Chain A
Amino acid sequence: MPEVPVGVLDVRNLRVAFRTHAGDFEAVRGVDLQIGRDEALAVIGESGSGKSVTASAIMGLIDARQARVTADRMLLEGRELLGLSHGERERINGARVAMVFQDALAHLNPVYPVGWQVAETCRLHGQTARAARARALELMEHVGIARARGRYDDYPHQFSGGERQRLLIAMAVAMRPALLVADEPTTALDVSVQAQILELLRSLRAETGMALMMITHDVGVAADIADRVVVMREGEVVESGTVREVLLAPRHPYTRALLSAQIGRAHV
């Protein structure tokens, strides 16, 4: 694997073992990931391949009482993430690394107006309420919420699926993170909205130079947005390389099986 010179994310030998009654279950077994500045990495694989658990481990979302997360190293912009205190972790989350999810409605608090929630990221990282409000309005317009000013105080259920995903993206990019982790952000959307969201992510990346880790089971999405691809299966990386290498000339039989399962792969 080629060494990436200036890395945003450098993960070596990541393991996540869930404690169960029948002993430990390793959902992620020795995953290596590197993401360079301004780079988009797609992690593809079927359900249960450990893609989302890898993302949760990077975000520090895994409950230490339920699972053990170990790695030789997990560096974000050169800083070790494992073993950080809660306070240190909270300063990094949202500010240097942020995440968007598949089910945007479930990830927005139903009892708060959306503007409040977009502003929340800014407030958590030390902005005053007034500055956060101004920034949230600016972000909502920027991610393409029509008439953002009039809808600042509306609630999540009053927005369409595509708009909710835009709001989640606005929350995530509020502090201009170095890395955005996107866990199947387009899976729940129809194809035309999916294309709009991918376009939004692309334009945000072009503006800010933010790196992207896109988790998806859709090879088409990976081909559309990523520079490099990592293929995961049963908690292990089976193949990695540039989009052209992996998708046009897959070496691993599993990758070939995954590609042949995609409709319209001829367009890749």
Chain B
Amino acid sequence: MTLLRHDFLRSPVAVASATTLIAAALFAILGPALFGDVAGKVNLRARNAPPFDLHSGWLNILGADALGRSIVARIAVAARNTIGIAAAAVVASLVVGGGIGVLVGLSNGRMAGFIMRCVDIVMSFPSLLLALVVLYVLSPSPWNVVLVLAITRMPIYVRTARAEVLEIRERAFIAAARVMGGGTRHIAMHHVVPLVLPTLLIVAGLEFALVVLAESALSFLGMGIQPPDMTWGLMVSDGRSYIATAWWVSFWPGLTIVLVALSANLLANWFRGASDPTLRKPRKVGADA
């Protein structure tokens, strides 16, 4: 762990990405308490106020939306729904999908084949259509959005984990661990999962961006988060009607999505390098026997 921290501090990209994600997380935690009132305050004199113009107050530094509400404040408040929903969906599909994938890869019996065909069915079904139907039947509450996103994005974790496990379980060090008396559970937890996890975390980093976008698509279609609740995706779609005259209404929340998604990707990529001892910068090279 100390080694990992050492590598982390030496990588400016990793530090910057982590800082962005921590800032976003802080907004998610504190945003609604700090800016909750301002974000909902309508000011018709500041309708679509342009950014970097301080006449209507510093809160409109990034401009205001069609009802004159501060975009900065709305981004801060929407962080909670956006990040909360995306993070919950990604973690849920990572844990459940990855777990299923590892078990299927290690057992590879008849049951495993059945599970993989079920995964194929979920994968081949148009996920947006599935999400719309499910959210129409249930109500479009945040938890149901998380559930739907988690289920529709799960197959990629199952397939990735299974493919990795099928390769890893034939590697020689698995035989070595067995020869030293390691049982299936020990080998799964200590020799398979640690090698699969970096790959799955990278997938999760990439998926985080996709889930943010999928959530905004659902919100745009009216089946996701409902106003007056807000998410960054919903803010982007709100600004769509004014894109020709007031680009900033869509631009700032869109930029926020890009920054957060990019940070997640870069951090995932850094972790991949850091978790692989052979890619890590050597501290010293061993002497001959």
A-side residues, CB < 8 A to B, are 59-61, 86-87, 90-95, 98-99, 101, 103, 106-112, 120-121, 124-125, 144, 146, 151, 153-155, 157-163, 165-166, 168, 171-172, 174, 193, 196
Contact = CB atoms under 8 A, between A and B. Distances in A.
Contacts of A120: 177, 180, 182, 190
In this complex, the member of B177, B180, B190, B286 whose beta carbon has the largest number of chain A beta carbons within 10 angstroms is: B180
Interface of B: 3, 171-173, 175-184, 186, 190-191, 194-195, 275-278, 282, 284-289
17 contacts: A90-B181, A94-B179, A101-B176, A106-B171, A107-B172, A107-B173, A109-B173, A109-B195, A124-B180, A154-B284, A157-B277, A158-B286, A162-B288, A162-B289, A166-B289, A193-B289, A196-B289
A111 B180 contact: no
B183 A158 contact: no
A159 B286 contact: yes
A157 B278 contact: yes
A124 B286 CA distance: 28
Contacts of B289: 144, 160-163, 165-166, 193, 196
A129 B181 CA distance: 16
Contacts, number: 100
A166 B289 CA distance: 9
Contacts of A60: 178
B178 A61 contact: yes
Given A103-B172, A157-B278, A93 B178 contact: yes
Contacts of A87: 183
Given A103-B172, A110-B277, A110-B278, A154 B286 contact: yes
Nearest to A151: B286
A121 B180 CA distance: 6
Nearest to B287: A146
A111 B193 CA distance: 11
Q: Which 8 residue pairs are nearest across A and B when measured between Cβ atoms?
A: A162-B289, A94-B181, A106-B172, A94-B180, A155-B277, A107-B176, A93-B181, A109-B173
Contacts of B284: 154, 158
A91 B177 CA distance: 13
B179 A99 contact: yes
A196 B276 CA distance: 31
Nearest to B285: A158
A90 B182 contact: yes
Given A90-B181, A154-B286, A171-B180, A106 B277 contact: no
